[in-house]
A and B are shown apart, each in its own frame.
Chain A
Amino acid sequence: MDLTSEIAQQLYDGDADGVARRVEQALEQGLDPRQVLQQGLLAGMGRVGQDFQAGELFVPELIVAARAMHAGLDRLRPHLAAADGDADATVVIGTVQGDLHDIGKRLVGIMMQGVGLRVVDLGHDVAPDRFVEAAHKEGAALVGLSALLSTTMPMMRATIEALREAGLPVRTLVGGAPVTRRWADEIGADGYAPDAVAAAALARELLR
Chain B
Amino acid sequence: MNGRQRAMTAIEHHEPDRIPIDLWAEKTTLSRLQQHFGAADREALLKRLQVDLRYVMGPSFAGQQFRQLDDGMVQDHFGVIRRPMTVEGVDRTGHAWSWTYRHVHLAPLQAATTVKEIEHHPWPTAQMWDYGAVEAECHAARETGCAVVSGGDRLDRTAQLKPATYIRGLEQFLSDLVLQPAMAQCLLEHLVTYYLEYNRRVFQAANGAIDIFFMGDDMGTQTGLWLSPRMYRKFFKDNLRRFIDLAHEFGIKVMYHTCGNVTALIPDFIECGLDVLQSLQPAAMDLEALKREYGAHLAFQGGIDIQSTMPSGTPQQVRDEVAHRARTLGPGGGYIFCTAHNLLPDVPTENMVALFEAYLEHGGYWPNPPRCSR
Q: How far is the CA of A178 from the CA of B345 in the complex (A)?
A: 15
* B346 close to A98 (CB less than 8 A): no
Chain A residues, CB < 8 A from B346: 150-151
**Also in contact, A150 and B87, with CB within 8 A (given A14-B179, A58-B228):** no
Q: From B345, which residue of chain A is reached at the shortest CB distance?
A: A151
Chain A residues, CB < 8 A from B170: 103
Chain B residues, CB < 8 A from A5: none
**Most chain A C-beta atoms within 10 Å of own C-beta, residue among B88, B97, B307:** B307
Residue count of chain B within 8 Å CB distance of chain A: 37
B85 within 8 A of A: yes
* B222 close to A58 (CB less than 8 A): no
**Nearest chain A CB to B102 CB, angstrom units:** 10
**Also in contact, A150 and B306, with CB within 8 A (given A98-B89, A100-B85, A195-B223):** yes
B171 within 8 A of A: yes
* A125 close to B87 (CB less than 8 A): yes
Q: How far is the CA of A67 from the CA of B346 in the complex (A)?
A: 38
Q: How far is the CA of A155 from the CA of B346 in the complex (A)?
A: 13
* B178 close to A55 (CB less than 8 A): no
Q: Mark A146-180, 1 if CB is under 8 A from B, else 0.
A: 00011110110000000000000000000001101
B64 within 8 A of A: no
B236 within 8 A of A: no
A104 within 8 A of B: yes
Q: How far is the CA of A14 from the CA of B311 in the complex (A)?
A: 41
Neighbour of B89 across the interface among A55, A154, A178, CB < 8 A = A154
Q: From B177, which residue of chain A is reached at the shortest CB distance?
A: A60
Neighbour of A150 across the interface among B85, B179, B226, B311, CB < 8 A = B311
Q: How far is the CA of A60 from the CA of B311 in the complex (A)?
A: 33
Q: How far is the CA of A57 from the CA of B101 in the complex (A)?
A: 32
Q: Mark A135-154, 1 if CB is under 8 A from B, else 0.
A: 00000000000000111101
Neighbour of A63 across the interface among B88, B171, B307, CB < 8 A = B171
**Nearest chain A CB to B355 CB, angstrom units:** 15
Q: Mark B298-314, 1 if CB is under 8 A from A, else 0.
A: 00000000111011100
Neighbour of B174 across the interface among A63, A100, A155, CB < 8 A = A63
Q: How far is the CA of A152 from the CA of B88 in the complex (A)?
A: 9
Q: Mark A59-73, 1 if CB is under 8 A from B, else 0.
A: 111011001000000
Residue count of chain A within 8 Å CB distance of chain B: 29
**Nearest chain A CB to B113 CB, angstrom units:** 14
Q: Mark B280-294, 1 if CB is under 8 A from A, else 0.
A: 000100000000000
**Also in contact, A155 and B89, with CB within 8 A (given A60-B177, A64-B175, A150-B346):** yes
B231 within 8 A of A: yes
Neighbour of A58 across the interface among B97, B175, B231, CB < 8 A = B231
* A149 close to B175 (CB less than 8 A): no
Q: From B260, which residue of chain A is reached at the shortest CB distance?
A: A177
Neighbour of A99 across the interface among B87, B221, B224, B231, CB < 8 A = B87
Chain B residues, CB < 8 A from A58: 224-228, 231
> In B221-270, which residues have CB < 8 Å from any A CB?
221-228, 231, 260
**Nearest chain A CB to B162 CB, angstrom units:** 12
A113 within 8 A of B: no
B90 within 8 A of A: yes
Q: How far is the CA of A68 from the CA of B310 in the complex (A)?
A: 42
A10 within 8 A of B: no
**Nearest chain A CB to B372 CB, angstrom units:** 31
**Nearest chain A CB to B184 CB, angstrom units:** 10
**Nearest chain A CB to B277 CB, angstrom units:** 19
**17 additional A-B residue pairs with CB within 8 Å, beyond A59-B226, A98-B87, A99-B87:** A60-B174, A60-B178, A60-B226, A63-B175, A67-B171, A98-B88, A100-B103, A103-B170, A106-B171, A149-B344, A150-B311, A150-B312, A177-B307, A178-B307, A194-B222, A195-B221, A195-B223
A: which residues have CB within 8 A of B? 14, 55, 57-61, 63-64, 67, 97-100, 103-104, 106, 125, 149-152, 154-155, 177-178, 180, 194-195
23 interchain pairs, CB-CB under 8 A: A55-B224, A57-B228, A58-B226, A58-B231, A59-B226, A60-B174, A60-B227, A63-B178, A64-B178, A64-B179, A97-B88, A98-B88, A98-B89, A99-B87, A106-B171, A125-B85, A125-B87, A150-B310, A151-B91, A154-B89, A154-B91, A177-B260, A195-B221
B: which residues have CB within 8 A of A? 85, 87-92, 97, 101, 103, 170-171, 174-175, 177-179, 221-228, 231, 260, 283, 306-308, 310-312, 344-346
